[in-house]
Amino acid sequence: MIQNKNIIVITGGIATGKSTVTNHIRERGYEVIDSDNIVHNLYKKGNSIYLSIIRMAGIEILDERNEIDRAKLAKFIFSSENIRKEINALVHKAVIEKINEEISKTKGDTVFVDIPLMLEEKDNLINFGLAYDQIWLVYTTRELQIERLFRRDKRDKQESMKILDAQMDIEKKRNQVDIIIENTKSVETLKQQVDTLLELKNKKELTIGGINETN
């Protein structure tokens, strides 16, 4: 732990509802560090990471303001497993340094860290200095991921499956985390689960495995 902080990593695949969970946790008064936002800042024009990515991907991934277009970059990253690994390795060290810096500034005893690819890149992240106490997984089925990607981003099934295939299968993730938050029903049901988990955590009664909705 960093300075006696209880560090909880929130993870999940694309379109599992992770943002809904982290936003709700913030509404309950907890601090959540967004690793994707950190990456976004690292990609900004003039940053060393920005320059390195341009050398790899070319100026074709820039928008009209010469900033990195995240959608174009995503297509480039997912075009090759080797490219994905190379770019991920490029940003990991800088991201973890920034996460640890932000954790040290938080005021509460518990801090949440949103890391989408926590399980895919776990060994690398730990090697670069990531410390944590628990991993909470926001889970939904692959079928619902594809459906939500279409509704949210208008991605067709083939493109959605390509993105999902580049991540660890969501079913395999279930066996590698401390807490599972099921998101296969309503948003209200999802938020109720989060509230229960936070209450149990505060009472120090949270058990490994989380809670599964059966109603």
Q: What is the pLDDT of residues 71-125, one digit of tens each?
A: 899 889 888 888 888 887 888 988 999 999 999 999 999 999 999 999 989 999 9
70 vs 135, residue with greater confidence: 135
Question: What local confidence, expressed as pLDDT, does residue 158 receive?
Answer: 85
The answer to whether 162 and 205 are in contact (CB under 8 A) is: no
Question: What local confidence, expressed as pLDDT, does residue 172 receive?
Answer: 95
Amino acid (1-letter code) at residue 125: L
Question: What local confidence, expressed as pLDDT, does residue 212 receive?
Answer: 43
Report pLDDT digits (tens) over 164-180.
887 899 999 999 999 99
The answer to whether 108 and 150 are in contact (CB under 8 A) is: no
Question: What local confidence, expressed as pLDDT, does residue 74 receive?
Answer: 85
185 vs 151, residue with greater confidence: 185
Helix (H, G, I), strand (E, B) or coil at 132: coil
| Residues near 176 by beta carbon (within 8 Å), at least 6 away in sequence | 119, 122, 135
CA distance 60 to 90: 19
In the chain, domain spans: 6-202
**Domain 6-202 sits in CATH 3.20.20.70:** no
